Each structure stands twice: as C-alpha cells, then as structure tokens.
Structure 1
Amino acid sequence: MMWAGNAVVGRLVVGHMPPVMANAVRWALVAVLMAPWAWQVLRQHEALRRRAGYLMLIGALGVGSYNSLQYMALRTSSPLNVTLIGASMPMWMMLVGVIGFGQRATPRQLGGALLSCAGVVLVMSQGSWAHLREVRLVPGDLLMLLAALTWSIYSWLLVRKPASMQGEPAWNWAEFLWLQVLFGTLWATASAGVESAVVGHSHPWPADAQALGTLVFGLLFIAIGPSILAYWGWGQGVRAVGPTVAAFFSNLTPVFAAVWAWALLGTAPQWYHPCALVLIGAGIVLSSSTPAARPTSTSEPAA
C-alpha cells in the first residue's frame, strides 16, 4: 500500500525536483528520522569493518539504485507503464533465484505468477483489450525493468547473507535498515552529484511557495511510509516466505493505487478492481502453498 502511494506522490515530487536528487534527499531524511533508534550501532567498529562490503552492496541496490531508477522512469514514463512493468517482478525474482542462488522455480510458482500477472493486466487494461493496446513503451520503461532487476537481487541478498553477517552482533531491524540507508545514501548522493553536473540543475528546490509545500509534504510521506514502514515490512516478509513468494505481493500495487485514488481523489473503484484482487490473491495462495518456496531461515532479521 505504501509503495502504491509512492508511485502517486513520487510523480509529484519529481515534478518539482530532479529525480536522483529527490532520491538522495529522501534517504538522507530517513537517516535522520531513524538515527535516535539505531545510532548506537556505529560503536561496533569491528563488525562494521567486517560487514562493510555487504552493506555497501545492498545499500547500492536497494536504496541507491532502485529508487533512483524508479523516479527517473516516472519522469519519462507514465505511472500506467511503470506499474505494468512492476508486474514482472515475480518473473525477475524467479530468474535471479534460479541463476544466482540455486533456487528452483516450481510449477505452482509459475502458475501463481501467471494468475497474479493476469490480475495486474486486468487493472491496467481497465477490463478492455482496446485500452491495453494503447499502452506504448518509452525509454523510461527500460529504466523500470532495470529497477526490477536490482530489487530482485537486493531481495535475495537479504535472505542469502554471506558468512560475515552470521553470528554476533545480531542487529535488530532498525539498526540493519539504518545501515543500509547510510551506505545507500552515499551512492544516492554521489549519483545526485553526477546528475547535477550532467544536467546542470543549479537550484533543485522550487521557488514557488505552493510547489515547495507540495515537495516537502511529499518527501515526508515518502520517507516515513514507502521508506521506513514499507522497507521494514518487505524485509520481514522476505525473511518469512522468501523473495519469490514475496514478489507476488508487489502485484497488489495497482489495486492499492485504486484505493489511494478513491481516498484522495474520490475516484470510485471499478468492477475490474475486485476481480483483479481475486486473481492476484489466487496467485499468491498458489505460489506460497509449496514448501519449496520457503528459504532456509537466517539467524537475524532482514529489515
């Protein structure tokens, strides 16, 4: 639900600030908000030195790359296309699992992926094949495909951690997520600097008071909801059921987007929204009903 809101509010944010800069500001704000609950972890110098490589990698993938690519895609692609391409997440998750982590995709998972994607296509088409034929791919769609790939690798790395992440100290979810944010913000800030040098954004903040208010509100929402709450939920879900099954829940995003539109814009859901919810739910149930979908549990929570 939070990521569905991110697609709506993120489009407003990148309308007032360069997309890579918006991502850097977002995660810097998250780092500040979470610091009171996690800053003590910085005292563990030996553990940080030993685990720095892993933290730098997942920070680059989950914080520094995925969200920057998504915001860049929203500048050149429509929310419709971005959401539709996001429906390919289960397929990417299965592919990364098979190639990189030796996780076999089962027939149930493949069937669940088809059911879940059918539900997303139903929402995107608004129940009309004619409407679906109007969808056109643009260069920004390729950025979203790359974003889906980076997120899949990130999710698998949450549950298939290297030996350096095993044993003591066992970080809680806030400490682990905060460290991801710190390392990821380094990548995001460096990328924002490159964006500013190449594109030439000398004044990233809008001068208009109303636009500035919209930007500040949007950044606060994104920092608290789609960042802290959603990343915590995703990490716990991936740890419990594995990346492949968790990926099917991302297909609920367009359904929740309809809920956001109903609550904020007064646009009532149409007949195809509950139908799509049934298809997506059936795909989740089918894919998660096989024990092979569950990975070996880890000794520490993945935030």
Structure 2
Amino acid sequence: MSSSPIAGSRAGWLTLFLLAFPPLSWAGNAIVGHLAAGAVPPITLNFLRWLLAGLLLTPLAWNGVREHAAALRRHAGLILALGVLSIASYNALQYLALTTSTPINVTLIGASMPLFLLAVGVTFFREPATRSHIAGALLCLVGVTFVLVRGELGRLAQLDFVPGDLFMLAATLAWSGYTWLLRKQRPALPLIVLLYAQIVAGVVVSVPFVAWELGIDGQAIVWSTKTVGILAYVATVPSLLAYFAWDRAVARAGAQLPVFFVTLTPAFAAILSTLLLGEWPNWYHGVGLAAIVAGIWVAQRR
C-alpha cells in the first residue's frame, strides 16, 4: 500500500482537495479583484474584506482571545508588524495591482515568491542560501522578468512596466517579510487567535488609508448586486476558507508538497480569466510560468 499523502483513497482525495482549494480560491480572488475595479476602490475593498472576515471569525476566536489576552499584549508589537505586512499591505497592494494589470500577470508575479523569500532571508535574517536556492531564485527571476516585459526584452532598457506589476512586486516583497517574521518570531498562540489578532491590527491600520481614498482622493463604492457578491466572496473564500484549508493541507501532507500546489494559482487564473473575462493567456505567460515552476523545483529539491 502506498504511503503517499495523496494516495488514491478517500483520505487521499480529501488531502488533494485541501491542497488544490487554496490556489484555486486565490486565483478566484485575482479575478474578483479585477472585476471590482470601478465598483470598489482597491484599499477600501481590502478593508471591507478583512473587516467582514474578522466579524465572521469573532464568535470562533473570542474565547481564545480572552484566554490568551496576556500573550497578545506581550506580543502586541510583533502582531502589529504581522498585520501590517499581511492584511494591510500585501492584500491592498494586490488589489491596487489588479486595477491596471491582469489576473494572470499578478498571480505569475506572486508565484515568484521563492526569489523574494531568498532575498529577504539573506538580507534581513542572515539566512544562508545554498547553490540550489540561488539557482532556483535566478530561474524565478527570469520567469518574472519575462512576464513583466511581456516577452519583449527591449522593454528592459526602457523600464516601461505596467504600474500594477510594480504594485504586485511590492506586495510579494511585503509577504516575504511577513513569512520570515512569522517563521523566526511566531508568537506561541493558537492559529485562529493569531489570525484574528492580525486581522484586527491590519483593519485598524487601514482606516486612515481608506479615509484618504474615499475622502481626499474622491473615489466611491458603487453599490450593486455585483458589489455585494464581490465582498461576500473575498471575505469568505480566499480569506477564511482557503486559510484553514491550507493549514489542514500542511498538517496532512507536510510543508514541502503544498509549495508546489501554490504554483497552480497562475494556471487556475489563466483558466478563470479565459472563462470569465475572455482574456486568453499569451505565449510569454507560458514561458514565465515554466521558468518559475522550474526555479521552485530546483530550489526545493534535496
């Protein structure tokens, strides 16, 4: 009998679903964020997403928050940093990116996370880098660069990138910092309590930026059935359901295998973009994805 975590059994199929659901929902988040352009301003969309997610999570997390109140106060500064980098920065920058870039581009750039993780780890956390890590990161860099220049290498000299692509690069850098901070200094708190605390911190920090977007910048929410559907989706599927599915998938399959499933996000985004937006992927998307997947494989292999 096979000992693989995704062997052909009922438990294996459940594990496979748990592994595939997060990248599918994150690809859907990119599509919905793109559809939200013009209906909900990007920073406001991120604020409402996590405000609603936090409210939904409150009944499940509140007893744990009260039980661990002392630890939450002791780690307040760290939790604030985690909330800023993940909830307030990464997600808001992603929605900003989707106002001018495509879901395929955004998810492909996000798939280059190993490159940014390596750079942040070496620069700020003195994490050693092996030759495999460096080779994999360089392959990821080639893939991302190919997507950024749309397959036209002449653009490298002009640095003529779409603003959304640069926003997504900043988002990926922020998530890399969050990942290392969580890995090196994670507070000893239950998952649901830590997630809830990060959501609260990120929502509070986002308030002045939302006020600027809706007040000074003059953007507004266009309320409609579409808007309500967008908010319902982003507050539940990519926020809460995908997060807990990912946690269970890692518990069942280990830490290595899920990394490869994350690379399905651009593929899912390409399929959903074609079906829902009529945006067909271009040849350079395939080249970029192949380089990124190859880079992750090289960096992860033992």
TM-score by length of 1: 0.74
Does 2:137 match 1:113?
Answer: yes
The one of 155, 158, 167 equivalent to 2:179 is 155
Give the counterpart of 1:254 among 259, 263, 266. Answer: 266
Indicate the residue corresponding to 2:77 in structure 1. Answer: 53
Q: Deviations over 1:98-130 (max 9, x none)?
A: 01111122221233334456666788899xx56
Matched with 2:14 is none
Which whole-Å CA distance do the structure 1 matches of 2:51 and 2:204 have between them?
A: 9
Distance in structure 2 (CA, Å) of the matches to 1:138 and 1:254 = 18
CA contact (8 A) 1:70 1:144 kept: yes
Q: Report the residue type matching 1:259 in the other structure.
A: I
> What is the distance in 1 between the residues matched to 2:29 and 2:91?
10
Question: Residues 53, 29 of structure 1: CA spacing in aligned structure 2 closer, same or farther, 3 A cutoff?
Answer: same
Match of 2:39 in 1: 16
Matched, 1:64 2:88: yes
TM-score w.r.t. the length of structure 2 is: 0.74
Matched residue of 1:104: which SS?
Answer: coil
CA shift digits 1:48-101 (9 cap, x unpaired): 211111111100110011111121222233445434543543221111000111
Alignment correspondent of 2:12: none
Once structures 1 and 2 are overlaid, which stretch shifts more, 252-261 or 276-285? Answer: 276-285
Residues 1:6 and 2:18 aligned together: no
1: CA distance, partners of 2:117 / 2:152: 30
User: Are residue 184 (structure 1) and residue 202 (structure 2) matched?
Assistant: yes
Q: Relative to 1, partners in 2 of residues 1:284 and 1:178: Cα closer, same or farther, differing over 3 Å?
A: same
Identity of aligned residues (%): 41
Give matches, 1:104-253, under 5 Å. 104-116=128-140, 129=151, 136-161=160-185, 165-166=187-188, 170-171=189-190, 173-201=191-219, 204-207=220-223, 212-232=224-244, 241=255, 250-253=262-265
Letter in 2 for 1:194: W
Cα deviation code 1:14-56 (max 9, x no counterpart): 3201111111101001001112211113314322211111111
Number of equivalences: 274
Contact 1:123 1:255 in 2 (8 A): no
Judged with a 3 Å threshold, the aligned counterparts in structure 2 of structure 1 residues 103 and 233 are, in CA distance, closer, same or farther, namely farther
Tell me the secondary structure at the aligned position of residue 75 of structure 2.
helix
Give how far 1:146 is off: 1.7
- The letter for the 1-side match of 2:198 is Q
Supply the distance in 2 between the matched residues of 1:161 and 1:7 (Cα, whole angstroms): 30
Q: Could you list the per-position Cα deviations for residues 123-147 of structure 1 after superposition, in whole angstroms to 9, with x for gaps in the alignment?
A: 8899xx5699799513343322221
Which deviates further from its counterpart, 278-287 or 102-111? 278-287
> Structure 1 residues 106, 63: closer, same or farther in 2, change over 3 A?
same
- Structure 1, unmatched stretches of 5+, are 291-303
Following the alignment from structure 1 to structure 2, what is the Cα–Cα distance between the partners of residues 236 and 36?
A: 21
**Range with greater deviation from structure 2 (256-265 or 228-237):** 228-237
In 1, Cα distance between the equivalents of 2:248 and 2:180? Answer: 13
Q: Tell me which residue corresponds to 1:286.
A: 298
Structure-1 residue corresponding to 2:6: none
Instruction: State the Cα deviation string for residues 252-300 of structure 1 (Å, max 9, x = none).
Output: 432121232455468898999888776655443332223xxxxxxxxxx
SS class of match (1:102) = coil
What does residue 294 of structure 1 align with?
none
